[in-house]
Amino acid sequence: MPKSGQPWDQSFLAGHPLFRAFEPFARPLRTPTWPGPDDFTRVCAEFCARSGLELPPLSFRAMEKKSRREKRTSVELERLYDGSITLSGEVPCLRESYHDLLNAIVFCAFPRAKRALHARQFRALKTWLEENGVLGDETSAPRLPGARSREQDALTIFDEGGTVLLFTERAHEKWRGARTRLSLEDFGPDQVLPLLFGHALLEHLVEGQRALRSSGVVMVLPEPKGELLALAGEKDVLELFAYVDARLAERLEDPKEFRLPGADSIFELSSGKVLVGPPKPAWHL
């Protein structure tokens, strides 16, 4: 459960090897006091402008505290979390919360993929509401589904705890042929790069948790794109994220993908080991 009012440490995850790629997006938010929703909005807009993306405006807003006695006569789509993002371009967030700070950083790094994910979550929920006659029904108390669909589960698992595992072509061949778990060191330098997409996963790192596993989406970078895995400078980092973000958004928009919970691979954060996933075609970029 996301927390608010947390003590601020502007050096959060600085120097952590699994956060290194995100440093360009985090740096503008390492302010002396807690950055707020307006800061998240500004930084995300700046990175979109730098990349030349023409995306609908996105803003972050502090979540309003609701009384437990507050009653609504109908389900308002724009007030649901995914509805607010998809319909209004507003990301609700808590103040002084690492969970939502890291979510904002992931939005900066993956602007297209995050929008695609929440749009799909919203469509799945809206379909459920329509099929069950909840929308527009003022004769009974509004209710949301008590459990997520399998598609929603798959999307939520990736949103909160997913990792994009980037392989060079040579490293991917080695991984697919392995009969045991391989660590990142087994591939050699700059051959495999895990990008932690899940903001809850990043939050666990802030909290010092190490015994973590993540559902991995495997992507194979063709030459010469594989050279970007070295993260030689900020220009390379931004080029890599822009490239991966576009392809990941395509995958999230594909109704055949993320229909059920699953993973191309499992990534163990504590050991840096990449577990071989189920036999399926590689997803090449």
Are residues 101 and 171 located together in one domain of the fold? no
Of the three residues 149, 169, 186, the one that is the final residue of a domain is 149
> In 10 A of CB 64, how many CB atoms?
8
Q: What is the pLDDT along the chain (285 residues), one digit of tens a residue?
A: 788 999 999 999 999 999 999 999 999 999 999 999 999 999 999 999 998 999 999 999 998 766 555 555 567 888 899 999 999 999 999 999 999 999 999 999 999 999 999 999 999 999 888 887 666 655 555 566 666 789 999 999 999 999 999 999 999 999 988 878 888 889 989 999 999 999 999 999 999 998 899 999 999 999 888 999 999 999 999 999 999 999 999 999 999 999 999 889 889 988 878 775 543 444 433
> In 10 A of CB 172, how many CB atoms?
22
Phi, psi of 284, deg, nearest 5: -85, 145
Of the three residues 119, 149, 179, the one that is the final residue of a domain is 149
Are residues 45 and 90 located together in one domain of the fold? yes
Give the per-residue pLDDT at 118: 98
Closest listed residue to residue 2, CA positions, set 104, 96, 81, 85: 96
Which residues face 218 on adjacent strands? 165
Give the per-residue pLDDT at 144: 65
Q: Which domain, by its residues, includes 173?
A: 155-276
SS3 64: coil
Of the three residues 117, 149, 181, the one that is the final residue of a domain is 149
Structure tokens at 145: 């589904």
SS3 content of the chain, % helix, strand, coil (to 5): 45, 15, 40
Structure pTM?
0.90
Are residues 124 and 174 located together in one domain of the fold? no
Tell me the C-alpha distance between 58 and 60, whole Å: 7
> In 10 A of CB 224, how many CB atoms?
7
Give the per-residue pLDDT at 1: 72
